[in-house]
Amino acid sequence: MMALRIPLNLSNEPFRRDRPILAASAATAALLLAVFIMLVTIVVRDRHAAEDARSTIARYEGQLRQVNAENAKVDAFLRQPDNEIVLERSVFLNILLQRKGISWTRMFGDLESVFPAAVRLVSVRPFVTPDNKVQLDMVVGAQSPDPIFDLLKRFENSSVFGAVAVQGSMPPSQNEPLYRYRVSVNYAQKL
């Protein structure tokens, strides 16, 4: 016959296994304390970095105010009636010198290196963009559109010329037997 066991605890307080729970709680508390200390050090370091950034910004803003004040003085001086005439003349002369800085001989040599034999240059007008780059506005003509497309590919593959934009085209007429295309192309000639 097998004896039947009945678990019976006769004490006032039942036995509990609290040691693993206490150990896990202590480890979690230590981990949370370490994370808290790390976060406090990060906040303190960021606060010092922000103070440094604010002082640097304040110093640069002071320098900017000083430069703006000097610029306003120079501007006021240049806008006086006697000086304004000289300023306008110098701007005009600078624009002329900039236009003269484009070498026509070199430009035509560079164009000759990319033009197919079947394409004719009808007109060309170089101009300087506001960001000091040279752009050529051209009208080119050919007996058929295919040589023009070949020219556009050669412009894009060239190291001297850049992006090409076709502004418009005209089919042949009684007065003009060529297909004409108005083309703008970036040109890498240094001023």
pLDDT, tens digit, for every residue of 101-156? Answer: 677 888 888 899 899 989 999 999 887 777 777 888 999 999 998 999 999 999 88
Helices 81-100 and 19-78, axial angle in degrees (round to 10): 110
Q: Specify the residue for token string 């197919």.
A: 116
Which pLDDT value is given to residue 98?
A: 66
Which residues on adjacent β-strands are paired with residue 184?
137, 165
Q: How confident is the model at residue 175 (pLDDT cuts 50, 70, 90)?
A: confident
Give just the sign of the alpha carbon dihedral 75, 79, 85, 91.
positive
Which pLDDT value is given to residue 10?
A: 62
pTM for the predicted model, two decimal places: 0.49
Q: How confident is the model at residue 34 (pLDDT cuts 50, 70, 90)?
A: very high
Which residues on adjacent β-strands are paired with residue 126?
136
Integer Cα distance of 172 and 26 in angstroms: 92
Structural element, H or E, at residue 138: strand 134-142
Count Cβ neighbours within 10 Å for each residue of 50-85 and write b for 16 or more, e otherwise: eeeeeeeeeeeeeeeeeeeeeeeeeeeeeeeeeeee
Integer Cα distance of 183 and 149 in angstroms: 11
Q: How confident is the model at residue 9 (pLDDT cuts 50, 70, 90)?
A: low
Name which of 174, 178, 186 is nearest 148 in CA terms.
178
Which pLDDT value is given to residue 20?
A: 85
